[in-house]
């Protein structure tokens, strides 16, 4: 069974700092990996999707990398802002591509 781990569980940084969130998974036979943010009381918002054949994706201040062989992904956030405060989740799809496994998330607080 696929296990997805996110470390740290919580992170607090001053505004403007660059930061890295980590996601690791036990089974490297994945089809893709997706990063989401979740705001309190709200659903999940997709940030970046990396297909298994890709090594990274970028969107604005966000950059996600994928190393399938080592079972790791990182989400890099540049020049953090208070509006980035949220819980960040990673999810991998495997099997036929239709089963998703989520990490438990990293709660990020950006202090003004």
Binding site for another protein (CB under 8 A): 4, 31-32, 34, 36, 41-46, 49, 89, 91, 93, 96-105
Q: Which is nearer to another protein, 80 or 101 (CB)?
A: 101
Least distance (Å) between residue 104 CB and another protein: 4
Cα–Cα–Cα angle for 98, 57, 43, rounded to 5 degrees: 55
Residue 87's CB is within 10 A of a number of other CB atoms, namely 18
Least distance (Å) between residue 107 CB and another protein: 12
Cα separation, 90 vs 105, in Å, equals 7
């Amino acid at each position: 069974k696929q296990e997805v781990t996110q470390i740290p569980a919580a992170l607090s940084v001053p505004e403007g700092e660059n930061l890295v969130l980590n996601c690791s998974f036990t089974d490297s036979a994945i089809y893709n990996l997706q990063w989401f943010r979740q705001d309190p009381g709200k659903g999940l918002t997709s940030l970046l999707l990396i297909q298994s054949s890709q090594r990274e994706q970028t969107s604005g201040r966000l950059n996600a990398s994928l190393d399938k062989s080592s079972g790791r992904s990182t989400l890099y956030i540049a020049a953090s802002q208070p509006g980035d405060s949220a819980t960040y989740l990673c999810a991998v799809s495997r099997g036929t591509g239709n089963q998703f496994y989520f990490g438990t998330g990293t709660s990020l607080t950006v202090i003004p």
